A and B are shown apart, each in its own frame.
Chain A
Amino acid sequence: MMLFENIRLAFSSLVANKMRALLTMLGIIIGIASVIAIMTVGNSVTGNITESMESLGVNNVMVSLQQKNEEKESREDGVVFGSQPRSENLTEEDLITTDMIREFVNRYPDKIKCISAQSTLGDGQALDGNLYANASLLGVSLGYFVANDLDIIAGRYFSEREFDEGDMVIIVSDKLVNNMFKGDAEAAVGKTLQFNVEGKFYHPTIVGVYEHEDSPYMISMTSEKDIRTDAYLPLRTVMNEKHITRFGGFTVVTATGTDPDELAGITKQFFNVYYRNNRNYEISAFSMATMVSMMSTMMGTVTTALSVIAGIALLVGGIGVMNIMLVSITERTREIGTRKALGAPNGSIRTQFIVESIVICVVGGIIGIIIGVSAGMALAKYLGTPAKPDISSILLSIGFSSAIGVFFGYYPANKAAKMDPIEALRYE
């Protein structure tokens, strides 16, 4: 009954001093809004990255060259950061040969679904009179389309023969078709394009068109017309063109029923036999699943760090509340004296002001949550990820703002409770 009365009183005091109440709440509003916004965006982005990485295939095992270093701290999951092969030390002899890969596939045919390897030809431009389209030309193995889950919307994949022969055939994106063939994918199939790649001209024939998907976590700043999409050639074609036979890395797609982590271990063991005597390099292999969980952990850490910063804003807000509460009890000294003369015990005066402080903080918190969720969703939408407001963080915010109310309201409330009634009644 008393509590209800106190809440009513706190609200009427808020309404009576609207401007001051709003300014006081501002700190809480900003603090809570930033925490919620960060959590919302963080959750959305993490969820989205995880999802898109999973869509790339949790069954994939990434194999790459890695510099040998005895002192380097290796993580338990076998992933080592900053281990990109340095080109100055890297010689042709260090790279993985096609023979090694072939041997590997032959050794474990039931564990491997396919191998995805790629080699970049270079960035180029398709030209046809006034029409043009930007593309990155990439030589890919048969397994690439499986590993990367690409959808062919017109035409077909490369044939086995085209791979083996190294034919000048190409699979282009629907975006390129938009620019070169007015979006008619069916009409594009069978046409020969002229590509200018870093000064060299190529004339591949289109055999298929795939559906380009915008990378959700990379904001494209280029216009639709200038967008650069991948265009795929058979791996052999590019290797012949560049006169190479070896790779720095590739992806293994695990066969159904095989644990990717297990395959990663097997792969590492298999290839490192070749590298036992190599002074500088060895092979690292880890599954996509490991990568996904690492990514989530990393995003979680970033979100937490940002939330801590927002928490500081909340702390400052709390100090603001304490400040205004101190002003408020000074202004209401006579009221406090009167209440005491009317028989209010110290405890109920304390409760009154703590409740008032909680009401300020919770009202501020709720406004903050509304702003935070809207801002977070707007930002998530801008980033192109589905918004996921985090219910637990919203509940936590309400709890946290009440806690701030109690914490920063206690000192002023206690000061009010301990006032001498005679002094308080005499206060002008």
Chain B
Amino acid sequence: MEPVMQLRGITKNYFIGSPNEIHVLRGIDLFVEEGEFVAVVGASGSGKSTLMNIIGALDRPTTGEYTLDGIDVIRAKDAELSRIRNQKIGFVFQTYNLIPKTNALKNVEMPMLYGGVSGHTRLVRARQLLELVGMGDRMKHLPEELSGGQKQRVAIARAMANNPSIILADEPTGALDSETGRLVMDIFHKLHDEQGKTIILITHSPELAEETQRVITIKDGQITGIRKGKGKENDAL
């Protein structure tokens, strides 16, 4: 089976052509199979944020090929990139990034709204997702009224809204204490184990990375190591 995500020879340079040209990514080849739980680790400045932006279709590489779920992301126009982000990618941010003054339910509905899902279907799915992450009793709460862990759980439900091909989690436990962080990680495992979700976890914590199936280490814009994690094989594969 074709890997759901294929990156070939991805480079990213800033200040192109100037004497100060910076090579942030120096040729990344990365394949992620459907249903895989992968961790990308690297120190700050290693280029993992840039890689995440490219995977998330927020940024375009200087050179290279990127195919996501059979779609050529490199040649997609801006409007198509919006569509890809909406349908194929579920973002989970370190800082949650819930829309302020908008309750949990509406936050989860947001990607479906942009995806053109009808009102009733949206509501039903948003409710299901919030139940799934254990936030069924706080659906009408505003982000301001939720704790960090609760916010992140809402954010995960939101990432799942359009049933994306990959969930891209950028330091999802970075702003949480270890106990709540554990809770959030458990949700990722649950999504992976029970729903067969493809998850790419970007982190600088070796312990968390170890829980996944495959750990990819990035240093100076290059992949320096790929090893198997302790995460159990997905039955779907």
Contacts and interface: CB of A to CB of B under 8 A. Distances in A.
B82 A345 contact: yes
Interface in A308-347: 334-335, 337-346
B86 A343 contact: yes
Nearest to B87: A343
B73 to A, nearest CB: 14
A47 interface: no
Nearest to B50: A422
A92 to B, nearest CB: 86
Interface stretch (B94-102, B173-181, B194-202, B206-214): B94-102
Contacts of B58: 340-341, 421-422, 425
A49 B158 CA distance: 67
A16 interface: yes
Contacts, number: 67
Contacts of A334: 95, 97
Contact of B78 (A338, A341, A346, A425): A346
Interface stretch (B38-46, B113-121, B129-137): B113-121
A335 B99 contact: yes
Given A1-B119, A421-B58, A422-B59, A344 B97 contact: no
A340 B82 contact: yes
B82 A339 contact: no
Interface residues of A, number: 23
Contacts of B86: 342-344
A5 B113 CA distance: 9
B110 interface: yes
B120 to A, nearest CB: 11
A13 B101 contact: yes
A422 B53 contact: yes
A341 B99 contact: no
Nearest to B161: A342
Nearest to B96: A338
Nearest to B84: A343
A338 B86 CA distance: 11
A342 B91 contact: yes
Contacts of B102: 9, 12
Contacts of A290: none
A380 B68 CA distance: 70
Contacts of A9: 102
Interface string A1-23: 11001000100110010000000
Contacts of A344: 82, 86, 114
A2 B122 CA distance: 13
Nearest to A342: B111
A298 B78 CA distance: 57
Contacts of B221: none
Contacts of B83: 343, 345
Contact of A343 (B95, B99, B115, B119): B115
Task: Name which of A338, A341, A343 has the most chain B CB atoms within 10 A of its CB.
Answer: A343
B56 interface: yes
Interface of B: 53, 56, 58-59, 78-79, 82-87, 91, 93, 95, 97-102, 110-111, 113-115, 118-119, 158, 162
Interface of A: 1-2, 5, 9, 12-13, 16, 334-335, 337-346, 348, 421-422, 425
Given A342-B111, A345-B82, 16 more contacts: A9-B102, A334-B95, A335-B97, A335-B100, A339-B99, A340-B85, A341-B97, A342-B91, A342-B110, A343-B83, A344-B82, A345-B79, A345-B83, A422-B58, A425-B58, A425-B97
